[in-house]
């Protein structure tokens, strides 16, 4: 796909409403060989303003969660199902998800991550291609074919869910920990304990 040789979509006008509502296309961020890939729903106002996924309140929750398990945001890749902000933050439509699917599949193919973590209902249902009760299923791993390749998908709640339901924080955190383990990411707090010796 020549539109995204370096994994950046720089010009796309497939979704007329999104072209209208966006200020910019928000591409994935992080190493293009990351073992851990987070997939959110789509950019919100902050992401649309800054051009990076998960930089608003949800992003702070994600960053804090990663920090708590000793993983730096710069070690993981973060992207979204759609790269343009939907008007009034509505969910992306089936057609918009389909229009953006190729970009996501190219990103997943290039990375070949150990694990893909879905953040919330929209990315979980998009990648697993079934209904998902996210709160109940968070922490479950499923192998699915994405772009023809088998991939390991770990369901998580959306970081924003922890803001209005504190009981979801524990689920969110333990699923992050599980993800880091599966991806073989070094926990720097373990490391600092070792450094003490």
Residues that bind ligand URA (CB under 6 A): 40-44, 47, 53-54, 58, 80, 119
| Residue closer to ligand URA (CB basis): 44 or 113 | 44
Quote the least distance from Cβ 39 to ligand URA, whole Å.
Answer: 8
- Cα 19 to Cα 35, 45, 58: the distances in Å are 31, 14, 23
Give the closest residue to 120 by CA, choosing from 25, 18, 42.
42
Task: Output the smallest distance, CB 2 to ligand URA, in A.
Answer: 25
Which residue's CB is nearer to ligand URA, number 50 or number 187? 50
Cα 155 from Cα 112, distance rounded (Å): 18
Burial 32-58 (b: 16+ CB within 10 A, else e): eebbbbbbbbbbbebbbeeebbbbbeb
Cβ closer to ligand URA: 156 or 178?
156
Minimum CB distance to ligand URA, residue 120 (Å): 6
Minimum CB distance to ligand URA smaller for 91 or for 105: 91
């Amino acid at each position: 796909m020549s539109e995204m040789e370096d994994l950046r979509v720089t010009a796309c006008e497939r979704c007329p409403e999104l072209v209208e509502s966006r200020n910019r296309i928000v591409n994935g961020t992080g190493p293009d060989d990351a073992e851990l890939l987070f997939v959110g729903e789509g950019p919100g106002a902050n992401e649309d303003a800054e051009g990076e996924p998960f930089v608003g309140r949800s992003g702070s929750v994600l960053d804090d969660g990663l920090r708590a398990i000793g993983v730096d945001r710069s070690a993981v890749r973060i992207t979204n199902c759609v790269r343009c902000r939907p008007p009034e933050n509505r969910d992306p439509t089936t057609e918009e998800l389909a229009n953006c699917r190729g970009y996501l599949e190219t990103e997943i193919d290039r990375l070949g991550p150990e694990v893909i973590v879905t953040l919330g209902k929209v990315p979980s249902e998009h990648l697993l291609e079934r209904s998902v009760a996210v709160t109940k299923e968070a922490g479950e791993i499923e192998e699915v074919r994405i772009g023809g390749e088998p991939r390991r998908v770990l369901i998580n709640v959306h970081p924003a869910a922890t803001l209005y339901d504190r009981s979801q924080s524990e689920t969110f955190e333990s699923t992050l920990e599980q993800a880091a383990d599966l991806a073989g990411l070094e926990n720097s707090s373990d490391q600092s304990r070792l450094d003490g010796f």
